[in-house]
Amino acid sequence: MKLQEIFGATQAVNMREDAREAFENAPFSRRDLMKTMGALVVGFSSVASIKKLGAEAPLPSPVYDLLQVDSWIAIAQDESITAYSGKCDMGQGFRTVQYQLVAEELFVPIDRVNLIFCDTALCPDQGTTSGSQSHLTEFGATGLRQALATARETLLAMAAKQFNTTTDQLVIKAGVISMKSTPANSVSYGKLIGGKKFSLATNAKATPVDPKNYTVLGTSVPRYDIPQKTTGEYIYVQNVRLPGMLHGKVVRPPFIDAQVVSVNNASVAKLGGNVKVVVKKNFVGVVADTEWQALIAANTLDVTWSATKALPSQDTYYQTIRKQPSRDSYTVNTGDVDANIKSAKTVLKATYLHPFQMHGSVGSSCAVADVWVNNGVTFAKIWSPTQGVYPQRDSVAQVLGTAKENVRVTYVEGSGCYGLNGADTVSYDAALMSQGVGRPVRVQYTRADEMTGGEHFGAAFVIDLTAGLDAQGRIQAWDYEAWSPTRGNRPTATAPGNVITGYLAGFPLPGIVPAAATQPTTFGNNSNVAMNYGTGCVGTSCGSTGNVRSERYLSHSVDSPFFTGPLRSPARLQNTFANESFMDELAAAAKIDPVDYRLRHLVDPRLVDVVNAAAKAANWQARPSPKPGIVKTGIATGRGFACVLYEGSNGYSAMVAEVTVDQATGVITVTKLTMSEDSGPVSNPDGLRNQMEGGALQGMSRALVEEVNWTDTALGNTDWRRYPVRQFGQPMPQLVTVLTNRLDVPQLGAGECTITLSASAIGNAVFDATGARLRQIPFTPVNVKAALAARP
């Protein structure tokens, strides 16, 4: 069996053959890696190969100290460099950026670099790859960059000692350190340390390369994975094939809270494929020799489920969640909002509605698990497309009834996930079925499995906004109150019930504990609850980007009938849709150009810069919205604006949307999206543009068409016809990206900025074109026509 059949190119891209073999044979820790091959790490005894695993107890997974250089880097005698990271690539391009980072900081050619990421047996625990945190983390104080800088400075010091000189007399070129005065005096990294450990703590004072001097970072190094993705050589988790592997399918309850009353194993006894049924409390799965046989068995198995209470009515759902018991919190409460609104010259109120939406990965989720027992102890290996191998290891250990050290989770890329699709819960499914049948099991969801019993929906929101303006139209006070339902989340060691399979298997679901809001103690805007234009004052400190001093933000979390999770730009998209649309309403009420109106309320120079950059690139003509001389029939055109400081601290972005609206049909066509971005030093310009473009269009799809629907008895979105998204063949806008490569500031995230802006920018453009305000997503023809009809 070749490595590619097991781990795939995901990890093996650019890896030497001996390194690949060592990786393949590593069961549970780097201590098991090959001594003689030496490419990956300093040698320890080589133990079991994967083929023997079923018969042997592997060494427990180690813990890699984030503050030890050896946790991150190994340099072999042959000069190859292997870096270990806890941040994965799931299509966003961070694999390539990490290669660039290693080459840049160590002054080595990029083709000398190996990278292994997101394997609990090999890599440092960096939690999840999510929330646009990868750049902040890996370029931060406890990340990969600091370890690399420490390693480089240490190697320089070692060479200085060897040549009896000082480090300032040395120069590094392609991993070789030489005396400036006598270049013949030189030594390579491999000679200095090859095959040995650094045994050194990361030095917080080590100096990373100044971004102004970047030669590898800051360039559009082509993505490492794309060639193999175009040729079918790339191995996704769907392509992991183990010897003796069986195929499993899940049988989900009609309602998530339904209980198994009985399972009629006889109903599948006569089917081909040695069908086995695995039941654990309310989890039901079938395993068969082939995928097709498993699919037939899943569709045949006769399960009797208990009846449960009906789902809340979708028609009145936005009213229902206002009345549910809630856990409340303030983001800011300056205490003077009511008075300032009362004294305002003009008061505006609006309610914004956002539905549940799906991650809707194009590939239904898949995972492979091998669970075995040795001397009464359960061990497991899981190949998973999860965003968090470590949290999954810790929680799946609970599900399997073993210690986390006995579980190895290896990330293998799946279909783009954008948050918490079915990746985690399908890994539980595979683990439970493998445990049940004692063989490796691959579980590939069907489309309906993914959409109704796999993925966690992005949360619905109801947001009430009120603002008071003074006589000049300036914002005097801003009042926000929102309700949002949640259930479950990413799995954790203490909450395996956070995901669907854990819950079905009997683990408790941490619910909403109602609680009144208390005064905040610090300003945090991680969910972009606070709009851009406030001061964000909590106590004596102010942390936001604007100049409106009187603010109140009250959030209510309520229980959800569906499992929810961090769908790309979680809460931030919904809040920004409301905040940036309402800002546009205020500008219109003040009869001021929407860009000018924003600038009057902004103080953060970086946000001001991206606003100006987007407006300039779009050739924005300053005037109030709606555009003068609107005709209420026919095709109308307009432009809209939105901007955000993502998560309140993690990436500045602005967008101009240009649209046409067919006022007879209510159909919106987005013709152009112009976006600007400032996320600090740009690591890979083309990679950043790819993220901005894809985010903007995914945001457009979510704004225009996407909504989870249900009846009193079932979820209605079982396939792409019932959950339509924007597809090829439908009009796609021209995309313009403007990058601000700011070199004197830290790296920030960028993957979720533009998706956060599409809905409000498009809605504001529709207002500009027609005078109709869109306050409910999705902007379907029905909702657009209702808004058009409501015009004065």
Partner 1 sequence: MAVVNFKVNGKAYSMDVDPDMPVLYALTNDIKLNGPKFGCGLSQCGSCTVLLDGQPIRSCQTAMSDVAGHEITTIEGLGTSDKPHPIQVAFMVEQAAQCGYCISGPMLYGKTFVDANPKATQAEIEQSLNGLLCRCYTHTRMIKALVRYQQGVK
Nearest to 610 by CA among 675, 684, 673: 675
285 is a site residue for partner 1 (CB under 8 A): no
Burial per residue of 446-467, b for 16 or more beta-carbon CB atoms within 10 angstroms, e otherwise: bbbbbbbbbbbbbbbbbbbbbb
Burial class of 501 by CB neighbour count within 10 A (0 to 12, 13 to 18, 19+): buried
What long-range pairs does 611-616 form, CB within 8 A, spacing at least 24? 611/641, 611/643, 611/654, 611/676, 613/654, 613/676, 613/738, 613/740, 614/641, 614/643, 614/654, 614/655, 614/656, 614/674, 614/675, 614/676, 614/738, 615/641, 615/654, 615/656
CA 218 to CA 83: how far, in whole Å?
20
Using the minimum distance from each CB to partner 1, give the nearer residue, 227 or 746: 227
Site string for partner 1, 40-69 (x = CB under 8 A): ------------------------------
Interface region with partner 1, contact rule CB under 8 A, candidates 107-115, 237-245, 398-406, 655-663: 237-245
Site string for partner 1, 352-381 (x = CB under 8 A): --------xxxxx-x---------------
Among 61, 238, 386, 398, binds partner 1 (CB under 8 A): 238
Using the minimum distance from each CB to partner 1, give the nearer residue, 184 or 362: 362
- Shortest CB 407 distance to partner 1, Å: 26
Using the minimum distance from each CB to partner 1, give the nearer residue, 456 or 556: 456
Interface region with partner 1, contact rule CB under 8 A, candidates 182-190, 516-524, 724-732, 777-785: 724-732
225 is a site residue for partner 1 (CB under 8 A): yes
Among 299, 720, 789, 790, binds partner 1 (CB under 8 A): 720
The residue count for binding partner 1 (CB under 8 A) is 61
92 is a site residue for partner 1 (CB under 8 A): yes
What are the angstrom distances between the C-alpha of 791 and each of 614, 623, 630, 786? 29, 20, 12, 9
Among 141, 274, 292, 743, binds partner 1 (CB under 8 A): 292
Scan for tokens 């956002």, then name that residue.
354
Question: Which of the residues 390 through 449 are near partner 1 (CB under 8 A)?
Answer: 413-416, 418, 444, 446-447
270 is a site residue for partner 1 (CB under 8 A): no
Among 735, 741, 785, 786, binds partner 1 (CB under 8 A): 735
At a CB cut-off of 8 Å and minimum separation 6, what does 70 contact? 41, 42, 197, 198, 199, 200
DSSP state letters, 199-258:
--B--TT--PPPGGG-SSTTS-PPPSSHHHHHHT-SPPGGG---TT-EEEEE---SSTT-
- Shortest CB 439 distance to partner 1, Å: 15
Using the minimum distance from each CB to partner 1, give the nearer residue, 182 or 727: 727
235 is a site residue for partner 1 (CB under 8 A): yes
Are 766 and 661 contacting, i.e. CB atoms less than 8 angstroms apart? Answer: yes
Site string for partner 1, 694-713 (x = CB under 8 A): xxxxx--x------------
Among 145, 152, 247, 773, binds partner 1 (CB under 8 A): 247
Site string for partner 1, 655-694 (x = CB under 8 A): -------------------------------xx--xx-xx
Q: Residue 480 has which token pair? A: 């926000």
Whether a cis peptide bond, with omega within 30° of 0, leads into 60 is no
Binding positions for partner 1, rule: CB under 8 A: 5, 90-93, 222-223, 225-236, 238-239, 241, 247, 290-292, 360-364, 366, 413-416, 418, 444, 446-447, 686-687, 690-691, 693-698, 701, 719-721, 725-729, 732, 735
